[in-house]
Amino acid sequence: MSPGGKGANQAVAAAKLRAEVYFVAKLGDDIFGAQSLENFKQEKVVTKYVKQTKEAPSGVALIMVDGSGNNIIVVAPGANQNLSPKDVKEAEPDIASSGCVVAQLEVPLETVEFAAHLANTSGVSFILDPAPAQKLKPELLQMIDVLKPNETEAQILTGVKVTGEDSARAAAKNLLEQGVKAVILTMGANGFLLANLDQMRFVPAIKVNAVDATAAGDVFTGSLAVGLARGHGLFEAACFANYVAALSVTKMGAQSSMPNRQEVESFIKEKRLKE
């Protein structure tokens, strides 16, 4: 057993890169909730907005990994479904003063929409990792500064099956037309497509010996948020996230595979020397 959850993974990934991370979440009042809280404290994630409830157990997931490092994940969301707009409202002062707000779809959609509204009202960049994928309202799409789907999630959002560069461009174009300001469509070992009104460009994946891809997308999202919060441009922040995610797949596990800032800096330096 190891700590996980998309939001938790992204929070820890960012904290390991020395970002100041405030996590808004709901856990069960059980052993998994207690372990998660202890882990957040060890990873220096601020937990004043992490609540425990007796109404539902902590969310859990069963992850199966094949010999190539690919995975299948079955999720029982539990207390995640109890996270409400009211819980997010309590974090409004810290949302307003943050460099970036990140959300996922493992909590109720109305809660995600409210978080997007608060971020937009405060002029703070809002990143959405649309997983587990589902159709989204036009009002939410228009509040997203950066949408970060993978191929499957992009297909669910657009109806376009992403099988290569041309279809990825078509899916990204569709999302921009729906009102999303920028799209980073991740394609695993094939890299990612970055698209906004000014550019549409592919960036190859960093070549590594992949052991376990679990949480690689979460590492990318958390690292992207760190880059943007530090004032980097979207392309620069995405390239940084590309390196961090690549390094994470060289180890087993979710949060246990996430590199710290020193490891990332050494990895980037090593890779660039070989280019």
Is residue 225 packed enough to be buried (19+ CB in 10 Å), middle (13-18) or exposed (0-12)?
A: buried
Asked if 128 and 147 touch (Cβ cutoff 8 Å), the reply is yes
Q: For residue 218, indicate whether it is catalytic.
A: yes
Set 129, 145, 212, 218: catalytic member: 218
Quote the CA–CA distance of 221 and 6 in Å, as a whole number. 10
Quote the CA–CA distance of 143 and 145 in Å, as a whole number. 7
Q: Supply the DSSP string of the chain, one letter for each residue.
A: -----HHHHHHHHHHHTT---EEEEEEESSHHHHHHHHHHHHTT-EEEEEEEESSSPPPEEEEEE-TTS-EEEEEE-GGGGG--HHHHHTTHHHHHT-S-EEEESSS-HHHHHHHHHHHHHHT--EEEE--S-----HHHHTT-SEE--BHHHHHHHHS----SHHHHHHHHHHHHHTT-SEEEEE-GGG-EEEEESS-EEEEPPPP---S--TTHHHHHHHHHHHHHHTT--HHHHHHHHHHHHHHHTTSSSSGGG---HHHHHHHHHHHHHH-
Catalytic residues: 218
